[in-house]
Chains A and B, each alone.
Chain A
Amino acid sequence: MKPAQFVSALLLLGGAVCAQQPAGDVHVLRVQGGIYMVVGGGGNIAVQAGKDGILLVDTGLTELAPKVLAAVRTISDGPVRYILNTHVHADHTGGNEYFVKQGGALNGVPGEPRVIAHLAVQERMAGPPVGNDAPMPRSLWPNDTYSTPFKDFFFNNEPVFVYHAPAAHTDGDSIVLFRRSDVVSTGDIFTPGRYPFIDLQRGGSVQGLIAGLNKILELAVPARYQEGGTYIIPGHGRLCDEADVVEFRDMVTIIRDRVQDSIKKGMTLEQVKSARPSFDYDTQYSGSADAFVESIYKSLKR
């Protein structure tokens, strides 16, 4: 089921949206340190708030941005100084323009808030078009791209690390670590309870997705008996910790291994699909198992 605003956002922006969440109520969940998770505005949004202002990881769907702002205002009245985009999809970047307008000068220097993303995000937004999708309007583009393995800066009394996860969910994925608060925001590399969408048309691959998941595990440190410690805000779904990422990483790795084995045996895509290599995960993970298996097969065949 696609809520009306979901469909219109998709048509307006032309960017693929990897998951549908019934649009409606937007909620705030305190995570730890200076970090909050906003759910229900499209993809999950991580909010870091403090004396320097507000930092947002992703901005949700365009049409839900006012609701997201109302939720953010229950956390802080401060100006939006930074926006980080974990990837190009419209349910994560749709509110960019709206939130830039809520912004303020950074470090006393007048101008718009920084909108940081990997260079590939801007390249995808600017076109060339993928399938029937139109390029995304300039007003949504990042204004501060990076093309190095990682980028760091200091805001609200803590170091913020932005790691590029190459060719994972897309080719422009970023994983964000708030080092003092001990929270990681993953974008759609990690979506508990739903099969990952590997956007092959935008440079995604299963190998990169697994590498991205292993990167998240490398950043996360569990507290006593494998619980808590570093908290993980996924692209969609509930708040998680390292153990939840392990289950998901194991699922993707095991299904990848099965598809790889079938390829070694010379099986075609149709044969692999009918062998149902994700069968024992299909009752647990939502989304199309066929599409997931196909994206693994095609990644490995490249």
Chain B
Amino acid sequence: MAKLRIPILAAALVARAFAQVDFSGEWSPLYHEDAPERLPGPELGDYTELPINAAARMRADSWDADRISVVEQYQCRPHGSDYSMRGLGNLRVWREIDQTTQKLIAFHTHMLAWDSERVIYMDGRPHPPDYAAHTWQGFSTGAWDGNMLTITTTHLKENYIRRNGVPRSEQAIVTEHWTRHGDYLTVTTVIEDPVFLTEPLVRSDNWFVDPGQHIGIFGCEYAAELPRPEGTVPHHLPGTNPFLKEFAGWYGLPYEATRGGAETLYPEYRSKLGEYKPPEKCERYCTCTTLFNCNLR
């Protein structure tokens, strides 16, 4: 009898938690065609594929990269949790399990960029009230949708949807769908921002399991090294940014098509542009698959 009972008991104890997947482990990012944007960084004035409104466009046109060095508080400012999926995306995930109940309390993530750590609560707790502080990572809760984990993030600090000054506001709500296919992880991110987007921005990123990955220390220390009058905020006055047309020129694109907006996301927009003539020779970011092999002009 005893011999029979033990396997049955064991089977009950390790019963598969219905519709739950473990994302724990070391994940190495796959950059695919996004490598130029995600590694060396986007071109100035490239707003393609972004459903931005006119306010966001003007904000990006005014943006001056000097702000990152001149404004001390920008020097160690991390990516928001939505953009960090697009940045240097080496990712570690681990589970927090309650010892008493063996229930999943949260997933934790660590990203290479700025050593950012995030908690995705799985225990049904509510989001904080609107008067609570916002953070770079925001406040995330997750729920299972079959084998897919759907995460809702609020309370984000203002950040960017592209690293060339295209803004994402602190009012945005970010929804993520995490799906695991064996050794591959796909995260689809949906950003809804009533301040800067006219429709949701949907992007996806992939990772593969990399048990040998060791994420090093990112580290950052701010310092005022450029003598500027106190309170200087670098920006381009409206109509004076000289760099906005570079991108269209380098890639042989019509300038209007680089300005973003929901219309430019859809195939129908192509017919408006006439025939596309690519530059005769690729001169920029032609071979970019890692941070170190990009063909910089």
Contact = CB atoms under 8 A, between A and B. Distances in A.
Nearest to B77: A226
25 contacts: A37-B131, A39-B131, A210-B231, A211-B231, A222-B76, A225-B220, A226-B77, A238-B130, A238-B131, A239-B133, A240-B133, A241-B133, A244-B158, A247-B158, A249-B233, A250-B71, A253-B231, A254-B233, A254-B235, A257-B233, A257-B237, A261-B237, A279-B58, A282-B55, A284-B196
B55 A239 contact: no
Contacts of B170: 193, 244
Contacts of B158: 244, 247
Interface in B144-178: 157-158, 169-171
Q: Report the contact-size class of chain B (Cβ under 8 Å from the partner).
A: 35 or more
Q: List 6 A-B pairs, minimum CB-CB distance, nearest first.
A: A280-B58, A280-B59, A239-B133, A253-B233, A246-B73, A280-B55
A237 B131 contact: yes
B258 interface: no
A227 interface: yes
A29 B78 contact: no
Interface string B131-144: 11111100000000
Interface of A: 27, 29, 37, 39, 193, 210-211, 214, 217, 222, 225-227, 231, 237-244, 246-247, 249-250, 253-254, 257-258, 261, 275, 277, 279-284
B230 interface: yes
B73 A257 contact: no
Contacts of A225: 76-78, 114-116, 136, 220
B131 A279 contact: no
Contacts, number: 100
Interface string B52-91: 0111111100100001000101101110000000000000
B73 A222 contact: yes
Nearest to A284: B195
A217 B114 CA distance: 22
B126 interface: no
A209 to B, nearest CB: 11
B238 interface: yes
Nearest to A217: B73
B129 interface: yes
Nearest to B75: A226
A217 B73 CA distance: 9
Contact of A250 (B76, B131, B135, B233): B233
A275 B77 CA distance: 32
A282 to B, nearest CB: 7
A249 B135 contact: no
Contacts of A217: 73
Contacts of A244: 134, 157-158, 170
Contacts of A222: 73, 76
A237 B129 CA distance: 12
A193 B71 CA distance: 21
Which residue among B116, B194, B231, B235 has the maximum number of chain A CB atoms within 10 Å of its CB? B231
A258 B62 CA distance: 11
B54 A227 contact: no
Contacts of A39: 131
A279 B55 contact: yes
Given A225-B114, A240-B133, A283 B235 contact: no
A41 to B, nearest CB: 12
B134 A283 contact: no
Nearest to B218: A225
Q: Report which residue of B59, B136, B171 has the largest number of chain A beta carbons within 10 angstroms of its beta carbon.
A: B59
**Most chain A beta-carbon contacts within 10 A, residue among B62, B73, B135:** B73
A281 B116 CA distance: 28
Given A225-B136, A243-B157, A258-B237, A283 B195 contact: yes
A241 B73 CA distance: 11
A51 to B, nearest CB: 27
B53 A283 contact: yes
B196 A231 contact: no
Contacts of B115: 225
A141 B210 CA distance: 67
Given A239-B131, A282-B55, 10 more contacts: A211-B231, A225-B77, A226-B76, A226-B222, A243-B136, A246-B73, A249-B231, A280-B55, A280-B62, A283-B196
